[in-house]
Structures are given as structure tokens and as C-alpha cells.
Amino acid sequence: MKIVDLRSDTMTLPTDEMIEAIVNAHKSNRFGDDVVREDSVVNELEEKAARILGKEAALLVTSGTQGNLVSLLSQTYRGDEIVVERQSHTFKFEAGSMASMGGLFPKPVEGVRGYILPETLQEVISPDDTHYARTAMVVVENTHNYAGGAVITKNQVDALAEVAHDNGLKVHCDGARLFNAAVALSVSAKTLVEKADSVMICLSKGLSAPVGSLVAGNEEFIHEARRTRKRLGGGMRQAGLIAAPGIVALETMVDRLKEDHENAKLLYSRLRNIPGIEIEEPDTNIVFIGLDNLPVDSLELSNRLREQDILIYGGYGTRSRFVLNRHVDREDTLRVADAVEGILKVS
């Protein structure tokens, strides 16, 4: 039976067109040493990303984690304080990198579906007093993974950015899934980050490229980010091998994200009928279910689904996450719904 993998949209494999793009770039002699800016494919990808994101410049980085860290380190000083949402990726899932690598002090705050309310930000900005760390930045995660792929609208981002900028803070957008937000809201990605000083996007999640993320912002930021990337060991040589599929990802993989969103809604519409389940209608491609009222935890659910060739991660306690992606079609989604219903209704 086909294995249906819902662990993450990072599991998506490159398309034939992506592999062909690597071969074509090689045949056209386009690869070079990107540390000295001689890889024309990387240069093309960075220019394209900057244009799409409405920023002056962009920089290819190895991963989303590196992109977030590069963005933070390039715009702050050691000892500064960074306001992050309590369940955000930068705070919870990046191995404490802002503290360990940058001496930055995360200030986690409670959001509403992943969104830090402007009044919450206003309240937590430290006074300009030597007793306190200087509050230097706020991070917006859009979509917000742990809040179930929740979208943050342009008005919400702008309102938060206004408070941040009025108080001298920078705004960084962790846009690992920014295109999911843009597609769900039917707006361009650039409108969502217009007020952000820096943005990170991932090519290797729903967009199916094998490797790579980009950071974007003004020329000054990117100049500094290039040095920070080097410092972190992220200066790459013939990185056109990564950039070629990345260009295809940006050109061909954004619009289809709506299929993942439709399948997420389909899964939700089936699972919501299971007695005792906790579930929220997904905005994008991520469905979380709460199992508090059910006799099965996420580990057991993942083990029992695995017996039916369906993969989810099992480490979320009494929550389970299903991430819809390009390799999971409507029929697979219905199979997953049947399997989950079968396990949870009879347990």
C-alpha cells in the first residue's frame, strides 16, 4: 500500500523539473563559487526572491533555522532581548540558537492563534533602564506552525509592526510557510511582509525543493547577513545546485499549495465528527487534533497509523499533527480520515 506521509511538508521530494533545472544549469556552465558571488543561478534566485518579497535584496541560506538566526544576529547586539510567541519555532524548536550563538535573550509571550497582540508587545517592551535587557526585536511566525498553520493577516502584521517600530524594535518574519499564508488569504507574499525589516522563507517545505531558505530585507541588512551567514559556516560554493530547484519551486509550486489546504479542510471535516476530539478548522495545510478526552495519546495513534502505512510524528503528547503536502492527494486524505476514525472511535 502507498505510504502516506503526513509528518511534515519537509518530506516533499523534488520534482522532475527541479532535477532537470540542475542538469540544465550545469550544461549551461552556470555554476560558480557563491562565496565570491560567481554562481549565476544563486544570483538569479536571490534577485527573484527579493522581487517576490518586495525587498531590496535576498540571500540564500542553508535552512530555515539558519535564516532565522542570521536575521536575528544581523540586526541585534549580544544581550538584547527578542520578543517571541511562546509556541514559536524560533523559541521552541531551534535548539536555543539565539541564546547559545548570539547571546540573545528570548522573551516568550502568549499569542492568540500564534499572533502576538500589539498591546501584548507594548506591555512587554522593557523600559530604557540599565536594569533591563534592551528589547530589540519581535518575531512574527506566518503561518504559525504550532497554532495549526494559522495565518496572520496583513492588518495584524502591520499593527504589530507599528508598535514595534514606534518603540525602536525590528520586526522579523519567520515565513517558513509564508506562501501558504499568502495563498490562503489570496494576497501576494510581499504585502504580508511589507512592514517587516527581515523575512525568512523556506523552499524545502510545501514548495518541494530539496534544500534551502532565503532571507530578504534592505541592502544594508543583506550585506550584514552575508557576513553572519559566513560566520555560521553557511557560505556555500556551487550552491546553484540548490538554487536551480529553488527557482522552480518559486515559479511552479506556490499556487498548488491550495490543494494541500483543501485536503486539510477535508480531513478536518471528517475528523471533527469523532466524539471527544479537539480540533480547529485549519487555515492552511496543518491539522492538529487534541486527544485529551480520548484513551489514545499521540504516540499510540502514530504507532497504530503506521500499521496502516500512514506516518505522523508521535511526540506531541495529547496532540497529533497532520501536515498535508504534495504527495498526499484527496484519496489518501480520505484513507487517513478513515484510519483515524477507526482507531479513535473504537478505542
Ligand X SMILES: Cc1ncc(COP(=O)(O)O)c(C=O)c1O
Stretch that binds ligand X, among 57-65, 129-137, 260-268, 328-336 (CB under 6 A): 57-65
Strands (E) across the chain are located at: 4-5, 57-61, 81-85, 105-109, 135-141, 170-175, 198-202, 213-217, 278-279, 286-290, 310-311, 319-323
Regarding 114 and contact with ligand X (CB under 6 A), the answer is no
Minimum distance of ligand X from residue 27's CB (angstroms): 29
Q: For residues 89 and 170, which CB has a smaller minimum distance to ligand X in the complex?
A: 89
Regarding 64 and contact with ligand X (CB under 6 A), the answer is yes
Among 45, 83, 176, 337, binds ligand X (CB under 6 A): 176
Separation CA 116–CA 84 (nearest Å): 8
- Torsion angle in degrees (nearest 10) through CA of 53, 56, 62, 67: -80
User: What is the three-class DSSP state of 126?
Assistant: coil
Regarding 195 and contact with ligand X (CB under 6 A), the answer is no
Regarding 213 and contact with ligand X (CB under 6 A), the answer is yes
Regarding 63 and contact with ligand X (CB under 6 A), the answer is yes
Residues in CB range of 334: below 8 A, 6 or more apart: 266, 270
Number of residues that bind ligand X (CB under 6 A): 11
Name the β-bridge partners of 288. 321
User: What is the three-class DSSP state of 230?
Assistant: helix
Stretch that binds ligand X, among 11-19, 60-68, 162-170, 190-198 (CB under 6 A): 60-68
Among 202, 215, 294, 340, binds ligand X (CB under 6 A): 202
Residue number, nearest CB to ligand X: 64
Nearest-5° Cα angle at 63, 143 to 105: 75
Q: For residues 34 and 141, which CB has a smaller minimum distance to ligand X in the complex?
A: 141
Minimum distance of ligand X from residue 302's CB (angstroms): 18
User: What is the three-class DSSP state of 210?
Assistant: coil
Name the β-bridge partners of 311. 5
Q: For residues 294 and 323, which CB has a smaller minimum distance to ligand X in the complex?
A: 323
Stretch that binds ligand X, among 29-37, 61-69, 223-231, 237-245 (CB under 6 A): 61-69
Minimum distance of ligand X from residue 15's CB (angstroms): 19
Regarding 65 and contact with ligand X (CB under 6 A), the answer is yes
Q: For residues 79 and 315, which CB has a smaller minimum distance to ligand X in the complex?
A: 315
Q: Provide the b/e sequence for 72-102 (b: ≥16 CB within 10 Å).
A: bbbbbeeebbbbbbebbbbbbebeebbeebb
Separation CA 150–CA 143 (nearest Å): 5
Q: For residues 277 and 322, which CB has a smaller minimum distance to ligand X in the complex?
A: 322
Q: For residues 125 and 147, which CB has a smaller minimum distance to ligand X in the complex?
A: 147
Residue 26 host element (H or E): helix 16-27
Minimum distance of ligand X from residue 5's CB (angstroms): 15
Minimum distance of ligand X from residue 10's CB (angstroms): 6
Separation CA 126–CA 313 (nearest Å): 38
Site string for ligand X, 118-147 (x = CB under 6 A): -----------------------x---x--
Using CA atoms, how far residue 324 sits from 205, 270, 312, 330, 335, in Å, is 11, 15, 11, 10, 13
Regarding 89 and contact with ligand X (CB under 6 A), the answer is yes
| Set of cell numbers at residue 213 | 531558505
Footprint on this chain of ligand X (rule: CB under 6 A): 63-65, 68, 89, 141, 145, 174, 176, 202, 213
